[in-house]
A = this chain, B = another copy of it.
Amino acid sequence: MAAQSRIRAGEIAVAMPPATDAGLVFIGRIHTPWTSRTDAPRQGRPDGPVCRIEVFEPWVAALDGLECYPRVEVLYWLHMSRRDLVRQSPRDDGATRGTFALRSPVRPNPIGTAIIELVRIDGAMLLVRGLDCLDGTPLLDLKPDRGGFTPLAPPRTGDSQSGTHG
């Protein structure tokens, strides 16, 4: 179990506070060729293999319009990661850096982000390139990449559900 994975020389774990400030719902599952971190690429590439992102009900209706965006931001839950390290040693050589200075999956809230190339949407299934996560990774969110995104709405009227972020 990854949550008990060993601590390398120089790494520092902290007493992890209870992770109860907010709750997540897994909205789908990511299917990739990689079943262990040994196989997975270090970073996703736009010319990597086509992977599949499956969206669960009741969220499939929320995909409408996403097919217009060639690049999509994907958020997912790094479900195999321990969460309590504040210093990590990527090379396992005793040299450590702070967790927030790394894109390691080990972090207090193990949320991965990727910008993927959207190949096609078939019903509840997205075909994409550019992922590097493990097969079975839980999906958290999909949104148009901010680079190619122009906000549609006029100036806000004060309703808190207006607007965009980032």
Contacts and interface: CB of A to CB of B under 8 A. Distances in A.
Contacts of A163: 37, 40, 42, 104-105, 132
Interface string A72-103: 01010111111101111011100001111111
Contacts of A81: 160-161
A17 B56 CA distance: 11
A5 B161 contact: yes
Interface residues of A, number: 95
22 contacts: A14-B58, A14-B61, A19-B22, A19-B23, A20-B23, A22-B138, A24-B24, A37-B159, A38-B156, A40-B163, A42-B155, A44-B166, A59-B86, A61-B87, A62-B100, A64-B87, A75-B113, A82-B161, A103-B165, A105-B164, A106-B161, A111-B140
